[in-house]
A and B are shown apart, each in its own frame.
Chain A
Amino acid sequence: MSTYYTEDHEWIRVDGDTGTVGISNYAQEQLGDIVFVEVPEEGRELTKGDEAAVVESVKAASEVYAPVSGSVVETNSALEADPALVNSDAEGEGWFFTMTIADESELEGLMDEAAYQAMIEG
């Protein structure tokens, strides 16, 4: 499995031809306490860069963009009762949704973990 990051602080963990999507630990830190996550409907078709989800913190609402094109398979129902999972485990239990990957080549434009760390430290 490989994890890729976008410039907008989303991650996608790829397993075969599906990926799990969430926001990075850095992003949750910047947002502060998260009180609400609006995830896309299962089956929704996403194009890379589409607004896929909204994460609402006490401070502000932020859009979460589709890192690649595909369709939404499953959404994380745990987030409804416990949006704070995004704060406590952004890159694990705080995942937002899984999706099919329509075009693997779109992953090439994303960063690996080292490149993403360099970006946020830079």
Chain B
Amino acid sequence: MAETKTEDLKTTPLDALHRALGARMVPFAGYAMPVQYKLGVLKEHLHTRASAGLFDVSHMGQAVVHGADGVAATLEKLCPGSLAELKAGRMRYSMLLNEQGGILDDLMVTRPAGPLPGFDAADQMMVVVNAACKDADFALIESALAEGQTLTILADRALLALQGPKAVDALAKLVPGVTTLTFMTADVFTWEGADLFISRSGYTGEDGFEISVPNEKAEALANALLADELVEAIGLGARDSLRLEAGLPLYGHDIDETTNPVEAALTFAIGKRRKMDRDFRGEEEIMRDLFDGAIRTRVALLPEGRGIAREGSKILSLDGTEIGTVTSGTFAPSLERPIAMGLVDSEYAKEGTSLSIELRGKPVAAIVTPLPFVPHNYVRASK
């Protein structure tokens, strides 16, 4: 097969490194990205759960909203979370909603521990959004800015993720201070003269870190981590099977503009104060679904056998009626069986419900199962 044409695709600062490592490059959200390296998807996945995997996620959008007081309130115009309560150095998963409460994107919002390098002491919050949506997301946030506030896209920064039980050991050799972070906390650290914005978070269900690094230091940081025998380079193929095992939704597949947080089974992201004040986008539709139940619900499914239930496969009730669609599906290396997520009519969403999935024209039995498929290993602060 001819090598993927990359003239029309954007590249990250690690592009040359990926190719030097023998990555198979594919187009993803307008970027040339590594889907796997020489180990292959299965081994890369298993290595991440056993040791430490290094991912290039520089295609994602990083930005800082800053300026006049009330940055959290600005974001709350678009997000249903109680972001004003976010303390310094803490971060939260949230969503950008449209006026009917449909999800435009999911994102991480961080209240920096202190003023970020390059930004003065003004009110500020950092956001990381999905690559495919970043242009639209940033335009939306810009439209919501109050007087005196600015959105600054961190175009000069790459984003690496180091995930797995040994991630902290590997990263602490370079940046000793990261051992002070716990799940969903963030701070700024220095490495070889560069400012790294590091959070203890990720998209795999394992302990790990996301590291925002200046573009010109990205390759050096990646090489320093890869030099550690604990660390292997991991591609997007394994990233997908890892997040699916962890029960994490993928925007554009499991959640999209036609799903609100109730249908998406993400109601934890609606803040308590916000529910009381009923002051978030789409609150009428969302509160109605919270009280009365949504018509459809995102569920996790365990198909029988070894065939993979892929996105778009029909989900049927036992009497053969079509009652939903598979939104994500893959082979779970850590479970050695296929797993899937889908959107089904809510009366079939209860755990233990028997359904069937149409695989290549034939019905295969599947059961609704709790999430996550594989337990999370987050390192939380001890109380």
Contacts and interface: CB of A to CB of B under 8 A. Distances in A.
A56 B42 CA distance: 13
Given A58-B237, A59-B237, A32 B306 contact: no
A54 interface: yes
Interface string A16-53: 00000000000000101101101000000000000000
Contacts of A56: 306-308, 331
B307 A58 contact: no
Given A30-B1, A35-B331, A54 B40 contact: no
Nearest to A36: B306
Nearest to A63: B360
4 interchain residue pairs of minimum CB distance: A36-B306, A35-B331, A33-B42, A58-B41
Contacts of A87: 40
Contacts, number: 39
A105 B236 CA distance: 46
A61 interface: yes
B40 A32 contact: yes
B306 to A, nearest CB: 4
Given A30-B1, A33-B41, A58 B241 contact: yes
B330 interface: yes
Contacts of A61: 307-308, 310, 360
B327 interface: no
Nearest to A60: B310
B36 interface: yes
B306 A35 contact: yes
Contacts of B306: 35-36, 56, 83
Contact of B360 (A35, A54, A58): A54
Contacts of A84: 42
Interface residues on B, range: 10 to 19
A58 B1 contact: no
A32 B41 contact: yes
A30 B1 CA distance: 8
Interface of A: 30, 32-33, 35-36, 38, 54, 56, 58-61, 83-84, 87
Contact of B36 (A32, A38, A54): A32
A61 B144 CA distance: 45
B40 A33 contact: yes
Contacts of A59: 237
Interface in B42-78: 42-43
Contact of B331 (A36, A38, A54): A36
Interface string B238-274: 0001000000000000000000000000000000000
Nearest to B337: A35
B307 A36 contact: yes
A33 B36 CA distance: 10
A86 to B, nearest CB: 13
B54 to A, nearest CB: 19
Contact of B42 (A38, A54, A58): A58
Interface in B285-344: 306-308, 310, 330-331
A38 B1 contact: no
B82 to A, nearest CB: 39
Contacts of A30: 1
27 contacts: A32-B36, A32-B40, A32-B41, A32-B237, A33-B40, A33-B41, A33-B42, A33-B43, A35-B42, A35-B308, A36-B306, A36-B307, A36-B308, A38-B307, A54-B360, A56-B306, A56-B307, A56-B308, A56-B331, A58-B42, A58-B241, A58-B330, A59-B237, A60-B310, A61-B308, A83-B306, A87-B40
